[in-house]
Structure 1
Amino acid sequence: MLRCSVVIPTYNRERLLRFTLRALARQTLPPDQFEVLICDDGSTDQTRAVAESFADVLTIRYFHQEKRDGFGASSARNLGIAQAAADVCVLLDCGVLPESGCLQAHVDSHEAAPGPLALVGYVYCLMIDADPEGAAEMDQLLDYDDADRSIALLRENGRWPDIRDQYYAKYGDDFGRQPAPWAIYWTCNVSAPTALLREVGMFDESLHAWGGEDMDLGYRLHRAGAYFAVNRAAAGLHVPHERESKQGERRNYEYLAAKYNTPITGLLREFASLAVHPFNINDVIRDRGLPSCDEFDGRVTAR
């Protein structure tokens, strides 16, 4: 029985894809209990050949879409979610190397949850792309062909922990009762029930630039009743790579603020200035006495 579908969007990153698939081939979750859906956003390199080279050790399905202008990860992920055969989707970025127990931790969390769960995995070296010197040091220190060994080394020496550790230290690993838990639902290594992802509309494909598309999905999962938490055992390692352009990020936040038009989502307009950011948004909501989105919508409906 399939217990999870791993959805990986990719575009011209055959080297990173090979690392990710190699780590998936070493999962403790038996290979007949998960599938891997490669969602190719119009690659022109050997992405398909790399995916097919793992067909003897993984249940792999490859999907290709023609490249459109701009950022196509949302539509690529939607392609995978729509085709997923398991009850749980693990959304994993190309270039994130899951530790051998990662998928087992994801499915165990969902199977133990009393209701729908939006699970966040732990990601070492997240945002290292903004630090070229750190990325170069990582390349020398870590073996990307051995995710377990590399992650064990990072745990031992305390280097490059998940940047969300400051959030977890403040709110705990079980942070689902915070007013905006969706603000750190970054889809490099997360999971959610497949049916709920489809019910809330999956990713918004009108976002054609990088930034905010994952928080938007998290927001809708939150409004649909999903509970948010992190499972540190669902760990992965982010391999450094060239950064996506952030030119459209401000525009995306403006769009999302207008799309939902609540006091809380209105705070996204302040993300560009960093006056509000994912790590302080819960405090800002409390300090300003903002109503929850459900409360605000109820007030508007009652008028």
Structure 2
Amino acid sequence: MGAMKFSIVIPYKDRLANMSLALESLSHQTLPTDEFEVVVGVMENSPQYAQLCRKFENRLNIVSVVSAKKWQLGLARNMAMRLSSGQIIVLLDADMVLPDEFLVRLWNEHYSNGENQCVVGQMIDYSNNDTDVTVVDHHPYNHYKDRLEAVQAKGPGESDLRLQFDHIIPWAYAWTALIALPRESVERHELTFDLNFWGYGVEDLEWAHRISAAGIPIVMSRSAFGIHLPHVRSLADNKKAEAVNYRYFVKKWPSIEVELAACFGDFEANQLINPLRQELDQLLETGKSFASVCATRGEVRSLYLGALISADGSLEGLPEAEPNETREAYPLIGLALPFGDKSFHDVITLAPVRGLSHNYRKAVQSEAIRVCEKTNATELNFAAHTHSL
């Protein structure tokens, strides 16, 4: 007999009520229990979690691995994936409740013929980090079961907003609350999570970025869906962690697509990318694109925004470099920069940036203010600090 069909990988910390509902939904799967396992990356030493697992010991095959890192989702997932033995790894948040037929449908519709693809599931009731949540009301499992059955009877359609728009940037909607990928592809392409991400957000987008770069199609399923349960969260804390993580993402994979997501959001980037490409085609000569250039002279660091880079890698629009100056170019407009606050002695915005439409000029100006040490928001005037050559 071959390997079991699925390994359900769940990172877990301090969400006992939600985790109980998630496991309950998995225990009701119509797929035989010997054809899937649940592998949990646990980020705490919790007797309550151990007690919860004992509740399911005769109903689910649960394997737990404990991480020493307080809130490192990537490590928890990596450790769990290394222990997985199923043909397909399903990454699932502890906040997801699935319909009884979920695994059977996922297999029959997306993986029964050996397909090598990344399948993203719909999240019903998901609130995309737009408000604080301080109190959560939990309902009995049958409440969610009835709701899922009603959705299935009607047809989930496009309940998830991500299905209502074209997917131009495939990794931008591949969120790990509900997503599946063949284990063989994970191992062949070393698709583990980058541990330089901490706290909330972005580690899943970077992971999906590498999936897409490996040539693996990312598809969104209409039939694979689940209910996303609410959980306590601080919007301010999440946004703070997300901003730092996005800067690392931009530094690792600098591109217009990545900086667009970092500036405006992953969902919004899908809608903005084609109009932005058209705008750049009209603004710049064929074969040229924007570059942000870091110039270092001893301990003095300057940043040029709006330089141009040709297809051969040569830079245009910059003043002549001083003898002791080193330069590093990033293929970025400057909408989102991979640098910390006040990282540069000065920031020079070059003439081509002025040709951008208002929202993009405003974004570049905001980043220039953020990374420049000698100015504040009231002192840095975009036009006055523009260096025209």
Q: Is the 8 A contact 1:200 1:221 kept in 2?
A: no
* Matching residue of 2:61: 59
Aligned letter for 1:170?
F
Q: What are the residue-to-residue correspondences of 1:38-187 with 2, within 5 Å?
A: 38-68=40-70, 71-112=71-112, 115-127=115-127, 130=130, 139=137, 143-153=140-150, 162=159, 164-165=160-161, 167-171=162-166, 175=167, 178=168, 180-187=169-176
The aligned counterpart of 1:267 is: 260
Cα pair distance change 1:300/1:128, threshold 3 Å: closer
Q: Shift of the alpha carbon at 1:129? A: 7.0
**1:287 partnered with 2:287:** no
Deviation at 1:262, TM superposition (A): 2.1
Kept after mapping to 1: 8 A contact 2:172/2:270:
no
2:347 matched residue in structure 1: none
Question: CA–CA distance in 1 between the matches of 2:17 and 2:47?
Answer: 10
Aligned-pair CA distance for 1:158:
11
Query: What is the TM-score of this pair, normalised by structure 2?
Result: 0.64
Residue 207 of structure 1 corresponds to 197
Structure 2 distance, partners of 1:50, 1:219, is: 35
Task: State how far apart, in whole Å, the 2-side matches of 1:281 and 1:219 are.
Answer: 14
Deviation of 1:213 after TM superposition, in Å, equals 0.9
Deviation at 1:192, TM superposition (A): 0.7
Largest Rg, 1 or 2: 2
In 1, the alpha carbon distance for the partners of 2:270 and 2:244 equals: 22
Q: Shift of the alpha carbon at 1:99? A: 0.9
Deviates more, 1:235-244 or 1:279-288: 279-288
3-state SS of the aligned residue for 1:268?
Answer: helix
**Matched-pair contact (CA < 8 Å) for 2:99–2:149:** no
Please give the alpha-carbon distance, in whole angstroms, between the structure 2 residues aligned to 1:221 and 1:32. Answer: 29
Bigger relative CO (Cα 8 Å, ≥ 6 apart): 1
Per-residue deviation, residues 59-80 of structure 1 (Å, max 9, x unmatched): 1111112233xx3111101111
Provide the secondary structure at the position in 2 that maps to 1:120: strand
For 1:67 and 1:145, the matched residues in 2 are separated by 34
Residue of structure 2 aligned with 1:277, choices 238, 262, 265: 265
Q: CA RMSD in A?
A: 3.1
- Pairwise CA distance, 1:108: 2.5
Which position in structure 1 is the counterpart of 2:21? 19
- Once residues 48 and 210 of structure 2 are traced to their aligned partners in structure 1, the CA distance between those partners, rounded to angstroms, is 35
- Partner Cα distance (1:129, 1:260) in 2: 24
Q: Equivalent residue of 1:187, what SS? A: coil
- Would the aligned equivalents of 2:261 and 2:267 in 1 still touch at CA under 8 Å? no
Q: Which amino acid aligns with 1:185?
A: A
Q: How many angstroms apart in 2 are the aligned matches of 1:39 and 1:114?
A: 27
- Report which of the two has the higher share of helix: 1
Supply the distance in 1 between the matched residues of 2:262 and 2:40 (Cα, whole angstroms).
Answer: 33
The aligned residue for residue 10 of structure 2 is 8
Task: Report the Cα offset of residue 148 of structure 1.
Answer: 2.6
Q: Kindly provide the amino acid, as one letter, of the partner of residue 147 in structure 1.
A: Y
Q: CA deviation at 1:195?
A: 2.4
Q: Which residue of 1 aligns with 2:37?
A: 35
Extract unaligned runs of 5+ from structure 1: 271-275
Instruction: Give the letter for the 2:64 counterpart.
Output: Y
Q: SS of the counterpart of 2:277? A: coil
On the 8 A contact 1:22/1:145 being kept in 2, the answer is no
Q: Which whole-Å CA distance do the structure 1 matches of 2:85 and 2:252 have between them? A: 31
Maintained 8 Å contact 1:39/1:64: yes
Asked if 1 retains the 8 angstrom alpha-carbon contact of 2:9 and 2:39, the reply is yes
Structure 1 counterpart of 2:210: 220
- How many Å separate the matches in 2 of 1:157 and 1:110? 21
Measured at CA, do residues 286 and 19 of structure 1 come closer, stay the same or move farther in structure 2, by a change above 3 Å? same
Which structure carries more strand by proportion? 2
Q: 1:221 to 1:50 in 2, by over 3 A?
A: same
Q: Is the 8 A contact 2:73 2:199 kept in 1?
A: no
Q: Flag the 1:219–1:113 CA change in 2: closer, same or farther, 3 A.
A: farther
Q: Distance in 2 between matches of 1:147 and 1:280?
A: 30
**TM-score, with length taken from structure 1:** 0.81
> Quick check: 1:11–1:42 contact (8 Å CA) kept in 2?
yes
Query: Runs of at least 4 residues of structure 1 off by over 6 A?
Result: 155-159, 299-302
State the alpha-carbon separation in 2 of the partners of residues 266 and 130 from structure 1: 21
1:189 to 178, 181, 186: 178
| Number of residue equivalences | 278
Structure 2 residues without counterparts, runs of 5 or longer: 281-288, 290-308, 314-389
